[in-house]
Amino acid sequence: MARAYDVQTVEKKWQARWQDEGTYEVDNDDPRPAFYALCMYPYPSGPAHQGHVRNYTFGDLVVRYQTMRGKAVLSPLGFDSFGLPAENAAIRTGTHPRVFTDARIAELKESLVRLGAVYDWRREVRSHDPSYIHWTQLIFLRLLKAGLAYRALAPVNWCPGCQTVLANEQVLADGTCERSGDVVVTRDLEQWFFKITSYADELLSGLDTLEWPERVKVMQRNWIGRSEGAEIDLAVAGRPDVTLRVFTTRPDTIFGMTYAVMAPEHPLVDELTTAECRAAVEELRARVASETEIERTASTEGGPALEKRGAFTGSHVVNPFSGEKVPVYVADYVLMGYGTGAIMAVPAEDQRDWAFARLHGLPIVRTVEPPEGWEAQGGAAYSGDGVKVNSGFLDGLEVAEAKEVAIAHLEREGRGRRKVNYRLRDWLVSRQRFWGCPIPIVHCPVHGAVPVPEDQLPVLAPDDVEFLPTGQSPLAHHEGFKRTVCPIGGEPAERETDTMDTFVDSSWYFLRFCDPFDDEAPFGAAAVVHWMPVDQYIGGIEHAILHLMYARFFTRALIDVGLAPPELPREPFSRLFTQGMIRMDGSKMSKSKGNLIAPARYYESVGADALRLFHLFVGPPADDFDWTEQTDEVIEGCGRFLDRLWRLAEVAGEAGRSGALREADVELRRATHRTIQKVTSDIERWSYNTAVAHCMEQVNLLRDYAREDPHADVLGEALDALLHLLAPMAPHVTAELWEHRHGDRLHARSWPGFDPALVAEETVTMVVQVDGKVRDRLDVPATISDDEARARALASARVVEAVGAAPPARVIVRAPRLVNVVTTTA
């Protein structure tokens, strides 16, 4: 499309200026009030896509707006530059991951600069920089020293496609890998873990203090999965030496326990299985072991496999309240990873136990009276509230009371105790990959896993490695890297060849940004206390659980191990905004789906300002957006709007009546100040789409005004205000127009205020309704009294006609906006 100005030249000119003049560089001793604006650490996948554009447009708006509000805005950017794609590319093409990654970073950076997004690039960090690796490794060692990192043999999720271990969170609900889609299998390996579960309660309660989208908080709460209940030690009949420990959230139902179940992996299975039952139990265990996560959980998906599959062990446990002996089963519906890996089964009050009991002919005893008609509807487990029955000393109590009494009873008898369980598991950080931060550990035959001394950090991966699809890190095949000596005794030893999950890197980068030049420590105490917490964090909803949880954990852990000062706020991100994603043909726009629309073509045609404006205007920032064939037309519409602005500014340069203000001049000034008010409040409440709409409305108004003998001062004031309001949204064209008019820098100026006297309306349109239907509109003074409003409404000819002869039953007056004349008495 033909444009009113040379978009390319103007945009590139200002991008160079902001960089050369260091407009958005900020020092730690800046006296202005600190404001930390941050977009989530991007993985460098090449040139930006529309999802990035949207994200960084919002972020840039915040940075420029808060700067104009007089803040010292910390606006850093770096790159989450470790990760699988670079390594996969290396296997495919032979290019070293560093070379590949640096090229992708250059592309992403270039396209963000071209968008006009501004950062203090002096602070840029990259996860794969040796300096960053150094501090990530130091943090690992300090967590280890404090007991927050440990090594354990654990069943892990192994993805055959990625040839690596995955965190639980990287396995989708259907048992496939979130990245490759392969079916994940279980393997036992020695792995490093971070003890995030120590912080479960604090991570849960801390959510209440945060200005985050409610749904993100809900997701985190569900993920932590706190549940209160009791742990019970069940006596095994005829085996005084063994107890079976179970967890329940329903200690009130103990009288209804008619059997117990152990997970197939439970360590006591061998112990409790009798000779006669061994064959069936072994068969079950073998089948479960060979099953994938999907197959094992498929039994809940409905269909023929709905039954709960299990086998009797031949042993019995004693119901601690009734004293009855009940059978112990092994069944695949009990998971080793939660609670104690064993349960007391109460079929009457738990649907899973119900299904299993029915299948195996086990007794079902209700301990809560179900509501009227429950049995008539076919009967099933009833897990709701009610009155206890068949429960000895609990009979007659409500469920909540009965829980308390039951726990007290267990504790008195020493058979159990109150217990809180979490769904949250410790964070598995080991990855059998090359392109990640090496774990700084040496394995010595004498001293075991020995930390690399801190003065020998960083441990860097060698460059001369071969990238082969072997399923192990290339580091494991590199003798030069692997062979070393024990730091303690000097014995020949091997380096750990696993690397860390890349979520480790992104769990502390926001702290490094505060003090990226520090070569004595990850960051200085004063710097992080000055900038933290992040005042506005912006990113995608896809990080609602993992990244945000890990970063919250790390911030706390770093304080507790002494790497961060105790004054550092324990919550790193006080305000979070999660933008909607961009969809195309129903699925998320992403590189892996191959449905990217590169911004470059828009930079070259309509320009970055128009593209930014489009992303702001198209809908609420938090909502998803569908990219369709019509989208280009909307983007061009945004370009047209900027053209109109440009032409308006040209006219305003020449225009010129002076002297006393007329009615129309005053009206325009009122509109100008109202626009300032509306746009300001829209920006504050993340309503960018309406902020743009109000600017468009003002341009339309201004265009009409400029045609009809405008007053130079009034037109100038209006245009200048508009340029300020649009400065954070369309920074290039506004900076250029401002320079033409005044010669200095728009973005260095203060955000405009409005005159409350001008914002207040003088006359308003009063709506007169008869029985709720609009019958007339009257122009009245804004200060009109209720009596006067009523009188004027009733005097309206159209109202008189609608009301008819009978006197109105009632008149509702809401001066000065509305009068409703009610004629019916009903």
Q: Which of the residues 194 through 213 are near RNA (CB under 7 A)? A: none
| Cis bond before residue 320 (omega within 30° of 0) | no
Find the farthest-apart pair of alpha carbons in the chain and give their distance in angstroms, rounded: 109
C-beta of 379: minimal distance to RNA in Å? Answer: 17
Stretch 344-383: interaction string toward RNA, x if CB under 7 A: ------x-x-------------------------------
Q: Which of 1, 275, 797, 806 binds RNA (CB under 7 A)?
A: 1
Q: Whose CA is closest to 88, among 137, 126, 45, 129?
A: 45
Q: Cβ distance 419 to 410 under 8 Å?
A: no
687 binds RNA (CB under 7 A): yes
C-beta of 569: minimal distance to RNA in Å? Answer: 26
Q: Rounded CA gap, 299 and 295, in Å? A: 8
Binders of RNA among residues 158 to 187 (CB under 7 A) are 173
Sign of the torsion formed by the C-alpha atoms of 538, 544, 545 and 546: negative
89 or 334: CB nearest RNA? 334
Q: Cβ distance 548 to 531 under 8 Å?
A: no
Q: Rounded CA gap, 625 and 615, in Å? A: 9
Q: Rounded CA gap, 90 and 92, in Å? A: 5
C-beta of 406: minimal distance to RNA in Å? Answer: 12
Q: Which of 146, 185, 335, 526 binds RNA (CB under 7 A)?
A: 335
The one-character DSSP state at 83 is S
Q: Cβ distance 544 to 220 under 8 Å?
A: yes
C-beta of 535: minimal distance to RNA in Å? Answer: 21
Q: Which of 95, 163, 249, 292 binds RNA (CB under 7 A)?
A: 249
Q: Which of 196, 263, 410, 642 binds RNA (CB under 7 A)?
A: 263
114 or 543: CB nearest RNA? 543
Question: DSSP letters of 668-731?
Answer: HHHHHHHHHHHHHHHHHTT-HHHHHHHHHHHHHHHHHHHHS--BHHHHHHHHHHHHHHHTTTSH
Q: Which of 769, 792, 796, 815 binds RNA (CB under 7 A)?
A: 769
46 or 580: CB nearest RNA? 580
For the record, the structure tokens of 245 come out as 């420990």
618 binds RNA (CB under 7 A): yes
**Count of residues near RNA by CB under 7 A:** 88
Q: Cβ distance 84 to 435 under 8 Å?
A: yes
Stretch 461-490: interaction string toward RNA, x if CB under 7 A: ------------------------------
262 or 608: CB nearest RNA? 262
Binders of RNA among residues 534 to 593 (CB under 7 A) are 541, 545
Q: For helices 7-20 and 608-617, what crossing angle results, to 10°?
A: 90
DSSP tally for the chain: helices H, then strands E: 27, 28
700 binds RNA (CB under 7 A): yes
Q: Which of 703, 741, 745, 749 binds RNA (CB under 7 A)?
A: 703
Contact residues for 570 (Cβ-Cβ < 8 A; gap 6+): 202, 206, 555, 556, 559
C-beta of 624: minimal distance to RNA in Å? Answer: 7
339 or 607: CB nearest RNA? 339
Binders of RNA among residues 416 to 445 (CB under 7 A) are 421, 423
225 or 487: CB nearest RNA? 225
264 or 438: CB nearest RNA? 264
644 binds RNA (CB under 7 A): yes
C-beta of 797: minimal distance to RNA in Å? Answer: 11
Which 3 state secondary structure label does DSSP give 813? strand
For the record, the structure tokens of 114 come out as 């071209």
620 binds RNA (CB under 7 A): yes
5 binds RNA (CB under 7 A): no
Q: Which of 170, 690, 734, 796 binds RNA (CB under 7 A)?
A: 690
Binders of RNA among residues 315 to 334 (CB under 7 A) are 332-334
Amino acid at 327: P
Interacting span for RNA (CB under 7 A) from 22-30, 316-324, 619-627, 650-658: 619-627
Binders of RNA among residues 779 to 798 (CB under 7 A) are 798
For the record, the structure tokens of 573 come out as 């991100």
Q: Which of 20, 633, 654, 779 binds RNA (CB under 7 A)?
A: 633
Q: Which of 337, 384, 445, 804 binds RNA (CB under 7 A)?
A: 337
Binders of RNA among residues 21 to 80 (CB under 7 A) are none
Q: Which of 547, 775, 790, 792 binds RNA (CB under 7 A)?
A: 775
Q: Which of 218, 286, 289, 795 binds RNA (CB under 7 A)?
A: 218
Q: Rounded CA gap, 250 and 344, in Å? A: 10
Q: Rounded CA gap, 384 and 651, in Å? A: 73
Could you give the angle at the alpha carbon of 508 between the alpha carbons of 502 and 511, nearest 5°?
A: 150
Interacting span for RNA (CB under 7 A) from 147-155, 451-459, 745-753, 763-771: 763-771
Other C-beta atoms closer than 10 Å to the C-beta of 242 total 15
Q: Rounded CA gap, 156 and 168, in Å? A: 8
C-beta of 776: minimal distance to RNA in Å? Answer: 9
817 binds RNA (CB under 7 A): yes
| Cis bond before residue 731 (omega within 30° of 0) | no
Q: Rounded CA gap, 723 and 4, in Å? A: 17
Pairing verdict, β 259-262 and 227-236: unpaired
Interacting span for RNA (CB under 7 A) from 84-92, 487-495, 738-746, 764-772: 764-772
243 or 249: CB nearest RNA? 249
Q: Which of 67, 101, 319, 820 binds RNA (CB under 7 A)?
A: 820
704 binds RNA (CB under 7 A): yes
| Cis bond before residue 85 (omega within 30° of 0) | no
Q: Cβ distance 108 to 46 under 8 Å?
A: yes
Q: For helices 97-115 and 7-20, what crossing angle results, to 10°?
A: 110
Binders of RNA among residues 277 to 306 (CB under 7 A) are 296-297, 299-300
C-beta of 701: minimal distance to RNA in Å? Answer: 9
233 binds RNA (CB under 7 A): no
- Cα dihedral 89→93→96→97 (10° resolution): -10
